[in-house]
Amino acid sequence: MLNDLRIGASELHGRGVFATRGFAPGDTVERCPVIDVPATERDRLDQTALYDYYFKWQDGGAALALGYGSLYNHSPSHNARYVKEFDANVVAFVAVVAISPGEEITVDYTDDGRNELWFDV
């Protein structure tokens, strides 16, 4: 699947993930295995540069997504969503609208129930 994606300069924020082919709504864009960080170690992770790149995970832990998973940028008009697959230790990214080749793939960071973005607080 990584052949269907590329990393490039983003107008939204630094780097972003871009489609090299079209995706239809419901298509899986990427399934990313995660490194599961237990809740007892999450506070230490918050003190590092990785703070902006992890997903809140089950039992108060954190998950660092491999592949391109931690590089998808936020947009309120996102074209994909993420799905946490706890049992498989995976975060999947799924198209919610048609995505054209060359288009940046974005997600809504508030998908996990937060009403505010942590970087706006």
Domains of the chain with CATH codes:
2-110 (2.170.270.10)
30 or 49, greater pLDDT? 30
| pLDDT over 70, % of the chain | 89
Q: For residue 76, is pLDDT > 70?
A: yes
The pLDDT mean for the chain works out to 87
Locus of tokens 């419901």: 26
121 pLDDT higher than 60 = no
Spell out the residues 6+ positions from residue 20 whose beta carbon is closer than 8 angstroms to its own.
3, 4, 5, 6, 101, 102
54: nearest Cα among 44, 77, 78: 44
Question: Mean pLDDT across the stretch 102-109?
Answer: 94
Percent of the chain with pLDDT over 90: 61
Give the span between the Cα atoms of 96 and 89, in whole angstroms.
Answer: 22
Question: How far apart are the C-alpha atoms of 84 and 30, rounded to whole Å?
Answer: 12
